[in-house]
Amino acid sequence: MQELPNRLMIVSNRLPISIAEQADGTPTIKPASGGLVTALDPILRQARGTWIGWSGTNEADQTVDQLLEHAANSIGYSMHAIHLSQEEQEKFYLGFSNEIIWPLFHDLQSRCNFDPSYWTTYEQVNRKYAETIAQHYRDDTYIWVQDYQLINVACELRQLGIDAHIGFFLHIPFPHIDIFLKLPWREQILNGLLEYDLLGFQTNRDLNNFLICVEALLPDVEIDRSGEYPLILHADRNPTKVGFFPISIDPQEFRAAAHTPNVDNLYSQIREAFSERKIILGVDRLDYTKGIPDRLQAFSALLETYPELQQKISLTQVVVPSREDISEYADLKQTIQQLVSEINGKYTKIGWVPIHYIFRSLPREELLAYYRAAHAALITPLKDGMNLVAKEYAVCGPDDGVLILSEFAGAAMQLSEHSLTVNPYDINGTAQALYNAVTMPRLERIEHISKLRHSINQYDIYWWVDTFLQAANVKRSGAIEQGSS
Ligand code: ADP
Ligand code: F6P
């Protein structure tokens, strides 16, 4: 891995841990879930940098600060917490971020709630993040802002007089112009993004969608495509460099963590419980973008079309609770529960339950044991920025495992050649892919998974951070190399 800047500052909506209240009201720490934390935590541990984000609480209190300080000692990097009031959580986090940008950028515009009061709070909270950055920032710090909740941070930092080079990475997709045009704040969002010096997207498709929107909506800017990365030129500010940098995992760390005695033990327990049956595995945060109901229907269609597979195969679906204060998520939880019970009600036989449904955040060791035990992973988001679970399964799963992957996951751009790709909206097509996974000859499976691993080893999280920081021209001092923007 290339040298990291002296002071790397990651800024994201959430800290990698969040403070939650126990039943008796005492605050406790729990790890945050999601791909962003999985990817960035090893980087910041290595850089011993700083992470700024929301603590999960409403207001600062001494116990929370002590808990964070204690956690920082064991994690190896410092954390500075943002506290969000109830109203800010509702309008900035649940509202603008997760009822507008999230569904729109995942092509699900009918799920958007374009409440006009959300925007002001989004701006206000982005300012709050900028003010906290300003308190902890020094000249040799590289500020790297993450994801759609914080698009306006650079704009707010500029208004505070901070002239540093600032990078931004969008973990979710950037939509096609026909969808982006629906956003009432479309110019503000584009202009907010253009305050960064380097903008990173997950895939070439996202990057192109963005450039098309810029060209169509901001006639005063020019795009220079002559260099390695396109440059967006503006009259009154620094150019913005743009690129795509598919995010990844630390495969060596995952492989090592998946082969400890504890995981061996859990793996044996799972295998014993399922005896000779093949396990198909789904792992997702509770989210309507993940295509969980369609997937359950595809599994049901498989059992219907190929009854000889009944009692020989089970689906284990892990769902990690997420954003349940938004009604769309609470409804989804009900829909999933109902579908699981309908399918189980229809097919269960003595000693065999078709779907094992787990609704909680599993300890990491258990998750890794499931990866190892699964004959195939069924990863079928309707749309996903990347999907790290796909990479984790390819690395930790069995040497003859099969990856079934939605063509609408960013990961498909890299992994489709050696996975069974599906259109997640096509229930019968997905059922057929499942059948193909179960009947694929072993040698073929081994060959595919080894090619997937090769690719993930080559393009790992360290490659991702190196490529991004090189594009940002960050030197070890944290300063930006002269003459290159
Ligand atoms: P997203 O960022 O949308 O949640 P990803 O697939 O990119 O989707 O990332 C999900 C991350 O959450 C993965 O790194 C995965 O290991 C982690 N994760 C998934 N399930 C669990 C679980 N039950 N407990 C803890 N972490 C989980
Ligand atoms: O990857 C998308 C993302 O929204 C991240 O920004 C976030 O860390 C993760 O999913 C989990 O979402 P939330 O913080 O809303 O629970």
Please check whether residue 222 lies inside any domain of the structure. Answer: yes
End-to-end CA distance of the chain: 22
- pLDDT confidence of residue 483: 40
In three-state secondary structure terms, 368 is helix
Please check whether residue 479 lies inside any domain of the structure. Answer: no
Q: Looking at the structure, do residues 203 and 310 belong to the same domain, yes or no?
A: no
pLDDT exceeds cutoff 50 at 306: yes
Give residue 181's pLDDT band: very low, low, confident or very high (50, 70, 90): very high
Please check whether residue 290 lies inside any domain of the structure. Answer: yes
Q: Looking at the structure, do residues 184 and 282 belong to the same domain, yes or no?
A: no
Distance (Å, whole) CA 289 – CA 350: 34
Q: Looking at the structure, do residues 240 and 283 belong to the same domain, yes or no?
A: no
The pLDDT > 70 percentage for the chain reads: 96
Residue nearest to atom 12 of ligand 2 (CA): 34
Q: Looking at the structure, do residues 155 and 282 belong to the same domain, yes or no?
A: no
Q: Vertex 357, ends 292 and 38: CA angle to 5°?
A: 65
Distance (Å, whole) CA 58 – CA 186: 30
Q: Which of 34-43, 132-141, 462-471 has the lowest mean pLDDT?
A: 34-43
pLDDT tens string 307-331? 999 999 999 999 999 999 999 999 9
Q: Which residues of 239-255 are buried (b: 16+ CB within 10 A; e: fewer)?
A: bbbbbbbbbbbbbeebe
Residue pair 372/231 in contact (Cβ under 8 Å)? The answer is no
pLDDT tens string 437-451? 999 999 999 999 999
Q: State in Å: Cα 305 to ligand 1 middle.
A: 31
- pLDDT confidence of residue 321: 95
pLDDT exceeds cutoff 50 at 351: yes
Q: Which residue in 232, 216, 214 sits closest to 224, CA to CA?
A: 232
Q: Looking at the structure, do residues 64 and 213 belong to the same domain, yes or no?
A: yes
34 lines ligand 1 (CB under 6 A): yes
pLDDT tens string 109-133? 999 999 999 999 999 999 999 999 9
Residue 285 forms beta bridges with which residues? 320
pLDDT tens string 386-420? 999 999 999 999 999 999 999 999 999 999 999 99
The pLDDT > 90 percentage for the chain reads: 82
Q: State in Å: Cα 34 to ligand 1 middle.
A: 4
Distance (Å, whole) CA 6 – CA 139: 10
- pLDDT confidence of residue 236: 82
CA-to-CA dists, residue 470 to 150, 332, 434, angstroms: 23, 41, 41
What's 294's domain CATH number?
3.40.50.2000
Distance (Å, whole) CA 485 – CA 471: 9
Please check whether residue 117 lies inside any domain of the structure. Answer: yes
Tokens of 395: 């690395």
- pLDDT confidence of residue 5: 65
pLDDT exceeds cutoff 70 at 484: no
Alpha helices in 56-152 (DSSP H): 62-75, 86-88, 102-105, 117-136
- pLDDT confidence of residue 135: 95
Q: Looking at the structure, do residues 353 and 371 belong to the same domain, yes or no?
A: yes
Distance (Å, whole) CA 380 – CA 475: 39
Residue nearest to atom 16 of ligand 1 (CA): 389
Give, for ligand 2, the residue of 12, 13, 202 to mutate: max count of ligand atoms closer than 8 Å to Cβ: 13
CB atoms within 10 A of CB 185: 20
pLDDT exceeds cutoff 90 at 201: yes
388 lines ligand 1 (CB under 6 A): yes
Residue pair 265/189 in contact (Cβ under 8 Å)? The answer is no
Query: Nearest bound ligand to CA 16?
Result: 2
Residue nearest to atom 4 of ligand 1 (CA): 34
Give residue 6's pLDDT band: very low, low, confident or very high (50, 70, 90): low
Q: Which of 204-218, 267-281, 466-480 has the lowest mean pLDDT?
A: 466-480
Residues 6 or more apart whose CB falls under 8 angstroms from that of 143 comprise: 9, 11, 133, 137, 157, 164, 165, 166, 167
Q: Which atom of ligand 1 is nearest to the CA of 287?
A: 3
- pLDDT confidence of residue 58: 80
> Catalytic residue among 41, 287, 384, 460, which?
384
> Catalytic residue among 80, 106, 165, 171, which?
171
Strands (E) across 222-328 are located at 222-224, 231-233, 240-244, 278-285, 313-320
Give, for ligand 1, the residue of 320, 358, 392 to mutate: max count of ligand atoms closer than 8 Å to Cβ: 320
Residue pair 281/377 in contact (Cβ under 8 Å)? The answer is yes
Q: Which atom of ligand 2 is nearest to the CA of 37?
A: 8
CA dihedral for 203, 205, 206, 208, sign (positive or negative):
positive
pLDDT tens string 83-110? 999 999 999 999 999 999 999 999 999 9
Give the structural domain span for 116.
Answer: 7-248+464-471
Please check whether residue 481 lies inside any domain of the structure. Answer: no
Cα dihedral: 211, 217, 221, 223 (round 10): 20
Q: Is 171 a catalytic residue?
A: yes
323 lines ligand 1 (CB under 6 A): no
Q: Which atom of ligand 1 is nearest to the CA of 392?
A: 16
Q: State in Å: Cα 475 to ligand 1 middle.
A: 32
Query: Nearest bound ligand to CA 396?
Result: 1
pLDDT exceeds cutoff 50 at 481: no
Residues 6 or more apart whose CB falls under 8 angstroms from that of 203 comprise: 173, 244, 246, 410, 413
362 lines ligand 1 (CB under 6 A): yes
pLDDT tens string 230-271? 999 988 888 999 999 999 999 999 999 999 999 999 999 999
Please check whether residue 231 lies inside any domain of the structure. Answer: yes
CA-to-CA dists, residue 212 to 220, 223, 446, angstroms: 14, 10, 41
pLDDT exceeds cutoff 90 at 75: no
- pLDDT confidence of residue 153: 98
Query: Nearest bound ligand to CA 362?
Result: 1
Q: Looking at the structure, do residues 446 and 398 belong to the same domain, yes or no?
A: yes
Q: Looking at the structure, do residues 173 and 241 belong to the same domain, yes or no?
A: yes
Q: Is 384 a catalytic residue?
A: yes
Q: Looking at the structure, do residues 35 and 122 belong to the same domain, yes or no?
A: yes
pLDDT exceeds cutoff 80 at 59: no
Pocket of ligand 2 (CB under 6 A): 13-14, 33-37, 147, 171-172, 322-323
Q: Looking at the structure, do residues 238 and 303 belong to the same domain, yes or no?
A: no
Give residue 475's pLDDT band: very low, low, confident or very high (50, 70, 90): low
Residues 6 or more apart whose CB falls under 8 angstroms from that of 25 comprise: none
Please check whether residue 478 lies inside any domain of the structure. Answer: no
358 lines ligand 1 (CB under 6 A): no
CA-to-CA dists, residue 384 to 84, 108, 171, 212, 379, angstroms: 27, 12, 9, 20, 10
Q: Which atom of ligand 2 is nearest to the CA of 285?
A: 11
Number of domains into which the chain is organized: 2
Q: Which atom of ligand 1 is nearest to the CA of 172?
A: 3
Cα 326 from chain centre: 19
Q: Looking at the structure, do residues 323 and 405 belong to the same domain, yes or no?
A: yes
Give residue 170's pLDDT band: very low, low, confident or very high (50, 70, 90): very high
Average pLDDT, the chain: 93
153 lines ligand 1 (CB under 6 A): no
- pLDDT confidence of residue 68: 83
Please check whether residue 482 lies inside any domain of the structure. Answer: no
Tokens of 430: 């997905």
99 lines ligand 1 (CB under 6 A): no
String of DSSP letters for 197-246: SEEEESSHHHHHHHHHHHHHH-TT-EEE-SSSS-EEE-SSS--EEEEE--
Q: Looking at the structure, do residues 44 and 129 belong to the same domain, yes or no?
A: yes
pLDDT exceeds cutoff 80 at 482: no
For range 156-172, the mean pLDDT? 95
